[in-house]
Chains A and B, each alone.
Chain A
Amino acid sequence: MKFRITIERKPGLADPEGKATIRSLHDLGYTDVQHVSFGRAIVLDIDSTDETAALDEVDAMCQQLLANPVMESYRIERIG
């Protein structure tokens, strides 16, 4: 089964990519944009038939390696 992990910078921490992008969007006339934050997505294909166990496993992976709890939050969704 497939899972998508979306990792985002925690609010309040510096986000240079977001800052540069919002400036450019404003220059293009999209002045109603209030905030841009950057993250990334990781898709995992897990050989499992037990969704709950697989979700727990993916959560452990996020905590150990895939996300940095100092500066990032994450959410996991099943996509296949």
Chain B
Amino acid sequence: MTIAVVVFPGTNCEHDAVHALTLLGADAELVWHRETDLDDFSGIVLPGGFAHGDYLRTGAIARFSPVMAAVTEAADTGKPVLGICNGFQILCEAGLLPGALIANRDLAFICKPIHVRVESTNSILTSAATVGDVLRIPLNSYEGNYIAPPQDLATIETGGLVTLRYCDENGDVSDLANPNGSTNNIAGISNARGNVAAVMPHPERAAELILGSDDGRRLLEGFVAATKTSSQTNSVAAS
């Protein structure tokens, strides 16, 4: 089955996502944000960019795009849903993930490779990785600074829902290795079930050595594997 890569007006990383997923042996196709039926897809990616110009707040208008009802339904039924960068912001606005993303601590757009450490493997994004893996992946955002109200933060931390944290090349998580001021160096989170996950840096831009790193594969491989399991479950249910 095919993975849907959703395109909003202003999305700009959709081709990178399709390319990387195709490299990993998956079928992926672009789906316009006005689509209302995603039943035929085995997984969904909300890629990076500036959906609806990022007006009002990042992701705020995108969450009311017609496709989002189908994304929410897919998330509720356990299908893999992955948000990258702007997709992370949209999933938070939609309430599918807790918290919010605000302007970077130093009010600068950050575009550079950074390191993240795998904190949990109970999500579609990290299931093919090992806790403690240090990955080098590009960060490319202005609103990448993760915040959450104290009670949500406690739930995220105690529930093991932090999938990735910013770190240095040795895997040390510190203020110095925090590029954007994210609370507790959070770079990626998932829901409790693990089928909805989001990451601020771009694994799809680190899927080939010619791009400087193929560490992103370790994340996307988990996602692709999850979409295969999901489509098997669906075809069993259908037969």
Which residues of A sit under 8 angstroms from B92, Cβ to Cβ? 70
Number of interface residues of B (CB under 8 A): 24
A71, closest chain B residue (CB): B100
* Interface flag for B210 (CB, 8 Å): no
Q: A29 near B: Cβ within 8 Å?
A: no
A76 within 8 A of B: no
Question: Which residue from chain B places its CB closest to the CB of A13 in the assembled complex?
Answer: B147
**Most chain B beta-carbon neighbours within 10 Å: one of A10, A13, A16:** A16
Q: A66-B56, A71-B102 are in contact. Are A16 and B181 (CB under 8 A)?
A: yes
Chain A residues with CB under 8 A of B102: 13-16, 71
Once A and B bind, how many residue pairs between them come within 8 Å at the CB atom? Answer: 43
- How many residues from A make CB contacts under 8 Å with B? 13
| A17 lies within 8 A of B99 (CB) | no
The reply to whether A70 and B106 form a contact with Cβ atoms under 8 Å apart is no
User: Is there a chain A Cβ closer than 8 Å to B104's Cβ?
Assistant: yes
Tell whether, in the assembled complex, residue A65 and residue B60 are in contact, meaning their CB atoms are under 8 Å apart.
yes
Asked if B103 and A16 sit within 8 Å, CB to CB, the answer is yes
A20 at the interface (CB under 8 A from B): yes
Could you list some 10 contacts between A and B, CB below 8 A?
A: A10-B149, A13-B149, A17-B107, A20-B107, A66-B56, A68-B60, A70-B92, A70-B98, A70-B99, A71-B102
Contact residues of A with B, CB < 8 Å?
A: 10, 12-17, 20, 65-66, 68, 70-71
Known: A16-B102, A16-B107. 13 other contacts (CB 8 A): A13-B102, A13-B147, A14-B145, A14-B183, A16-B181, A17-B103, A17-B107, A65-B56, A68-B57, A68-B93, A70-B92, A70-B98, A71-B100
